[in-house]
Amino acid sequence: MSCSSYDEAAPPPATADAGTVDGGEAGSDSSGPIDAGNDARGPFCASFSPAPLFCADFDEGKPFNYGFTDFAGDFAIDPTTFTSPPSSLLVRGVDGGDVFMVRSVDALTTTSLHLGFSIRWGTDDAGPPPGGIPMRLNDSAVNDCSFFFIKVRDGAWFVEIDANRPDAMRTQDAYAMPLFPVDRTWSRVELVVEQTSPDVVSASVIVDGQISVSPKATDCRGLGHPEVTVGAQYSTSGTLDLDDVVLTQR
C-alpha cells in the first residue's frame, strides 16, 4: 500500500505507554531546545562524527529543500525561532493538503535506525494544525513493508506502525504518546526503529529524553532502504516549525 492511498479517516485505536530514559541519554541524541537569540550552539549537522545517514539543520543559507529528493507544499526558512542557530524550517499546513519533503537513503545494512527532530507545534496566530503527520520513516523498497508515523489528530499525539506483513496481511497499530510536544514550545522527538529478528521490527518514541512509547513490535521485514518524510501530511490549516532532523544507524 502506498502513502497516497493511506486511510487517514479511520485510525486504529491507540493505547498509552510512558516511561523514562535513564539519565535522559539512552537512545537520545540529547539536542535540547534553544530559541532565537541564544547562539551558544554551533552548526548541528557539522557536529556529527561520523556523519549521519542524513541531516538537515536549515542553517547553511541554502534553499529549504537542500538535501531532500522531493517536496511539495508551502515551506520557508524561519529565522525567528530555532534549536540550532540561525534558523529552522517553517511548515504551513493546508486543509486536506499534503505538505512534505522526502529524503531517500541509499541501501544499507543495519538493525537500528534513529530519526531525531525538533518540533514547535504552532508558530503563529493561526495556532497549530488540529491534525497532521509531521514525520514519517519507512522502507521504500520492500513493498511498502513498514511505515512509522508520528501523528496528531485533534491535539492527540501517537505513533502508528502501518505494515504489510510477510504473510501478505496488512496491520495498523497506534499507540498514544502520553508525553508529547506542547503547543508553541520546542521539543525533541526521537523515533527508534529496530530489526529485532528477520521478520520483526519494533518502534519506540522518546520525547525530551523520556520514553513516551516503549518498543512495540510488528511482523515486517526491511530497514535497508530508509526514506524520511517531513512536513504536515494529511494536514489541516496551521503552522509548525521543524529543526535539526537527523537519521543515524546504530
Per-residue tens of pLDDT for the chain, all 250 residues: 333 333 333 444 555 565 545 433 333 444 444 444 344 456 899 999 999 999 999 998 888 998 898 888 889 999 999 999 999 999 988 777 788 899 998 867 778 899 999 999 886 666 667 778 899 998 876 555 678 899 888 778 999 888 866 666 778 889 999 998 888 899 999 999 998 887 888 899 999 999 999 999 888 766 778 899 998 887 777 888 999 999 998 7
Instruction: Give, in order, the Cα–Cα distances in Å from 87 to each of 10, 51, 101, 244.
Output: 36, 21, 17, 10
Residue 127, Ramachandran bin (φ over 0: left; ψ between -120 and 50: alpha; else beta): left
Domain limits, the chain: 38-249
Quick check: 75 and 65 in contact, CB under 8 A?
Answer: yes
| pLDDT for res 108 | 75
Q: Which of 193, 179, 247, 196 is nearest to 21 (CA)?
A: 179
Q: What is the pTM of this model?
A: 0.83
| pLDDT for res 29 | 46
Was domain 38-249 assigned CATH 2.60.120.200?
Answer: yes
| pLDDT for res 33 | 44
| pLDDT for res 177 | 94
Beta bridge partners of 172: 162
| pLDDT for res 86 | 95
